[in-house]
Amino acid sequence: MHSELGTIEIQPESAHKYSVIWLHGLGADGHDFENIAHELRLNAESAIRFIFPNAPVQPVTINGGMEMRAWYDILQMSLEHKVDIAGIYQSAILISRLIDQEMNKGIPSEQILLAGFSQGGVIALHTGLRYPHKLAGIIALSTYLPALEQLKTECSSANNTTPIFMGHGILDPVVAIESGKAAFNALHALDYNVEWHDYLMKHSVCIEELGHISTFINNVFT
């Protein structure tokens, strides 16, 4: 397993008070969401350090074993998304280390937010809901929740009430909206503080969603 991740970073223009760690999807890299830092027009933007990690390069089974940046291997495309669960845990360790590094810089965990798109959303949820210190929030976009059963026994009480934003495209051909809604319903049934938004889009992010994400982050970074 890789011991650390390369990152793309945007440093705060004023005193560093908050951190956002944003995880890309399969085959992309840390630059994929780099522009989002300014597009969100956040109230605290000048005090936020944005971190966009690069997933490790590894073979991906559904893509014929082609090597690409991936947080875990996808073994089979289906509504259930048969995936490499061990790979999810390995990537979660790497992201937890990034959170630890921000805390070591003096940023309280309650002022650190995890966000992710598609595969990155899986890792954001998996890591955040197990992290031993309370986070500001979790954003999970166009994603699903492969390790739900394990979560029931591995969840961290520190993040039982952490706000969670889930957004999904109604026309998504990559991660079916049914998979995303099933993840939301499962988290809601476990009494997590989770909100759901769907949009008339495919496997992407739209302007309306960015507006809702901005409101969410402004509410948790107070």
From residue 173, alpha-carbon distances to 43, 60, 78, 84, 142 in Å are 34, 18, 11, 21, 10
Reference 116, options 217, 183, 23; nearest CA is 23
Residue (of 37, 217, 28) closest to 138 by Cα position: 217
Catalytic residue of the set 133, 197, 203, 212: 203
Contact 199, 168 (CB under 8 A): yes
Is 118 among the catalytic positions? Answer: yes
Q: Are 201 and 171 in contact (CB under 8 A)?
A: yes
Amino acid at 77: M
What is the three-class DSSP state of 96?
helix
Sheet holding 194-199, edge to edge: 7-10, 48-53, 18-23, 112-117, 137-141, 164-169, 194-199
Active site residue 172: yes
Catalytic residue (one of 29, 32, 73, 172) = 172
Catalytic residue among 118, 142, 168, 179: 118
Q: What are the residue numbers of the active site?
A: 118, 172, 203
